Amino acid sequence: MKAPLTINELKEYVMNDPDFILEYVEKIYDVISSIEPKVRAFITLRPREEVIRDAEAVIAKIKSRTAGYLVGCLIAVKDNIITKGIRTTCASRMLQDFVPPYNATVVERLREEDAIIIGKTNMDEFAMGSTTENSAFFSTRNPWDLTRVPGGSSGGSATAVAALEATASLGSDTGGSIRAPAAYTATVGLKPSYGLVSRFGLIAYANSLEQIGPICRSVSDVAVLLDVISGFDPRDSTSIKRGRQRGFYTACMERELESEIKVAIIREMFSDGIEAPVKTIFNSVLDKLESNGFHVEEVSVPELKYALPTYYIIATAEASSNLARYDGIRYGYHIVVEGRSWYDVYSDVRSTAFGDEVKRRILVGSFVLSAGYYDEYYLRASKVRRVIRDRLLRILSSFDVIASPTMPVLPPRFGERITDPLKLYAMDVNTVPANLSGLPAISLPAGFVGNLPVGFQLMSKMFSECELLTISKFIEDLLNIAPAIPELVRHHV
């Protein structure tokens, strides 16, 4: 059997023959049994029989004409998104046995539309990292080159999609965690505008920066998932009161581009740290855009040199607060408490069950929030953040999008970056501005260096996902790369 590669294709098959879902589930599990030992995208994979039972229920709904929008879709969900009854670990020993009693809003919305959760994907512990090497359990390998990282922190979600282990997936993006692995696996990843997608049920790393978003094999698939997961949620006070119009983003796929698209290139996102082959591919995309009537112009935002330190101050400050709750008392990592003071138990639990990178960020975050340093670090970072946001918004008042390479470097080999935190953090240089400013940003497959994928990032105005997706679809069609299937699984297509 030939596995359909996009959601629309899959839906066509399913509408012709609802029982196709069973075949599709079998197919995906066959792919998983051969590929998963090589890439290790999943922390928790649901048993095939259980998923088949879910699929049968969906088929019954199709036959009674009560089925939802995502029939047949097998969605891989990053393991920091709460799933009722399915272990949710955040790739941390702290939560290795945590089975939540409730669902994240996005998971509820997926289920309402009859998507089936296939499993929970690997990530950097508590989403802290850009390579998925910080998982407490194991690293995920890049399906394009098994000796390299898939990017992170949503490395498992991107890998599952690229390696055909799922129809599509959800990741979360705090400083590039959706876009980095999308770039490294030649998938499409969207970080929505801050407030567009409910964070209820997303295990917080840095609340003011992060959003849940889709990672898919095409822009249209991203639009379909965004339609399902976006929209106001009364349980998230930062979610924006916008009406949920069914099919709104999907409809944007049919739109024509409006006149001339203006693309801003920010010099500071395209200079020193960018590897030459990445630059070459990026430039070739720009050339194609220009010859297709896009207007490309270079601008400068000197303040962007403060983006990384600003990001790390805010992210670690929030993380140190969010992660305070893990003390081993109510849930999570448990040790014998008999005869010990709560203070000792807390210290022991937290020193044992958090990984090094998590501890490093908690320490830094506690420091920047401490009395006497708060003004100098956190408060100043909050001010710089506003300046960066204002600068980007000003650019976007005269441009449609801001383009850059998603990642400054090609996918690193294992261990290459993680040993030096500063080098690791520098990978996020082009992705963090979108989080600092709340803007939507997407990473599209732009080309390959050998067999290594390079990502093309576009940022746009707040809540202009429709325009962003329309432009992305145009570029996707123009470049004709997606859906990009790694050699490793090509025989399954």
Partner 1 sequence: MSKNTRVKIGLEVHVQITSLRTKLFCSCPSNYRGKPPNSNVCPVCLGLPGALPVVNREAIREALKVALALNSKINKLLIFTRKHYFYPDLPKNYQISQYDGMGSLPIAKGGFIRIENDSLSKIVRIRRINIEEDPGRITYPTGSIVTSPYTLIDYNRSGVALLEIVTEPDLESPKEARIFISKLVSILEHLGVTNPELEGAVRVDANISIEGGERVEIKNIGSPKDVEKALQYEIARQSAIVKSGGSVNRETRHWDKGKGITVSSRAKELEEDYRYFPDPDLPPIPISSDLIDEVRSTLPELPGDRIKRLMSEYGLSKYLAHVVVIRSKLLADAFESAVRECGNASTIASILVNELLRWVDECGITIEEGLKRLTTKRICKLVRYLKEKKLSSKLIKEYIKKIITEDIDPDDLIGKGYVSIMDLEYLSNVIEEVFKENPKAVEDAKKNPKAINYLVGQVMKKTMGKADPQLTYELINKRLKENVC
Give the active site residues: 78, 153, 177
* Minimum distance of partner 1 from residue 243's CB (angstroms): 20
Question: According to CB under 8 A, which residues from 400 to 419 bind partner 1?
Answer: none
Q: CA 107, CA 342: separation in Å to the nearest integer? A: 35
* Minimum distance of partner 1 from residue 82's CB (angstroms): 4
Residue 346, token pair as written in the block: 């807390």
The reply to whether 385 sits near partner 1 by the rule CB under 8 A is: no
The reply to whether 44 sits near partner 1 by the rule CB under 8 A is: no
Question: According to CB under 8 A, which residues from 238 to 267 bind partner 1?
Answer: 238
Please enumerate in sequence order all residues whose Cβ is within 8 A of that of 474, keeping only pairs 6 or more positions apart, or say none.
257
Stretch that binds partner 1, among 99-107, 150-158, 304-312, 437-445 (CB under 8 A): 99-107
- Answer yes or no: are the C-beta atoms of 117 and 383 closer than 8 Å: no
* Minimum distance of partner 1 from residue 169's CB (angstroms): 18
Stretch that binds partner 1, among 201-209, 284-292, 394-402, 408-416 (CB under 8 A): 201-209
* Minimum distance of partner 1 from residue 86's CB (angstroms): 13
Q: CA 211, CA 192: separation in Å to the nearest integer? A: 6
* Minimum distance of partner 1 from residue 170's CB (angstroms): 13
Kindly tell me which of 253 and 317 has the beta carbon lying closer to partner 1: 317
The reply to whether 348 sits near partner 1 by the rule CB under 8 A is: no
Stretch that binds partner 1, among 59-67, 146-154, 374-382, 411-419 (CB under 8 A): 374-382
- Tell me, residue by residue from 224 to 243, as one string, x for binding to partner 1 by CB under 8 A and - for no binding: ----------xxxxx-----
Q: CA 374, CA 99: separation in Å to the nearest integer? A: 36
Site residues, partner 1 (CB under 8 A): 81-82, 88, 90, 95, 98, 100-102, 104, 199-204, 206-208, 234-238, 317-318, 320-321, 324-325, 327, 329-331, 342-343, 346, 366, 369-371, 374-375, 378-379, 382
